[in-house]
Amino acid sequence: MALFSKQNREVFTNPLNVDHPILGQVLGICSALAVTSQLKPAIVMGLAVTVITAFSNTIISIIRNTIPNRIRIVVQLVVVAALVTIVSQILKAFAYDVSVQLSVYVGLIITNCILMGRLEAFAMQNKPWPSFLDGVGNGLGYAMILVIVGAVRELLGRGSLLGFQIIPDACYDFGYVNNGMMTMPAMALILVGCVIWVHRAYFYKEK
């Protein structure tokens, strides 16, 4: 089987569109609300989840035939928890500011439903390479929403992107005010709702 056969490409692209973890399956919402008040933590969180889904999918897929069926959830959790702890330690060592900002949410990746969902639904039945692609696809799908929501919230809530001021001082002189509502988690919920709406209206095709 070729590395990028049609089937494998679908495995990778489906979660970016039809089977999107947030838009299609509505998984992983809670962390999407919490970390998106600024763009930088949203990007780091998206990358962290992508790395963890990709590697946990691959590892579980490699050992899938040896896992005793009765304790498979425990085994999955141990693998995910180990990966999450490693990522959190690496963040603390190399991106301390971001790890402070993300605080508990890095640890909570363990309970992100996208991870367990993909492990149970995909990695337990498929070979390592497609599982890796599925993990990367789902992680990027999740990261995509985080980046969209994070960018909108930071732009409207703080007038900046990645910490750089975008909206010129002149606008503030004319009485433009940052929308404080945007920094609240509730607005993230509404924005995710809008993104789901646009996605369903224009991109989603019923099977």
Given the rule CB under 8 A, which residues bind other proteins?
37, 66-71, 74-75, 78-79, 82, 85-86, 89-90, 92-94, 96, 100, 103-104, 180, 183-185
How far apart are CB 34 and other proteins at their closest, in Å?
8
In three-state form (DSSP H/G/I as H, E/B as E, the rest C), the secondary structure along 9-27 is HHHHHHHHCCCCCCCCCCC
| Residue 84 structure tokens | 């999450």
Given the complex with other proteins, which of 117 and 185 has the nearer CB atom?
185
Q: Which of 124, 161, 117 is nearest to 139 (CA)?
A: 117
Give the three-class secondary structure for 107: helix
How far apart are CB 184 and other proteins at their closest, in Å?
6
In whole angstroms, what separates CA 94 from the centre of its chain? 20
How far apart are CB 63 and other proteins at their closest, in Å?
9
In whole angstroms, what separates CA 161 from the centre of its chain? 19
How far apart are CB 9 and other proteins at their closest, in Å?
33
Q: How far apart are CA 62 and CA 39, in angstroms?
A: 35
Given the complex with other proteins, which of 7 and 85 has the nearer CB atom?
85
Give the three-class secondary structure for 160: strand
Type and span of the H or E element at 110: none
How far apart are CB 96 and other proteins at their closest, in Å?
4
Type and span of the H or E element at 161: strand 160-161
Given the complex with other proteins, which of 74 and 198 has the nearer CB atom?
74
Given the complex with other proteins, which of 5 and 89 has the nearer CB atom?
89
Given the complex with other proteins, which of 16 and 161 has the nearer CB atom?
161
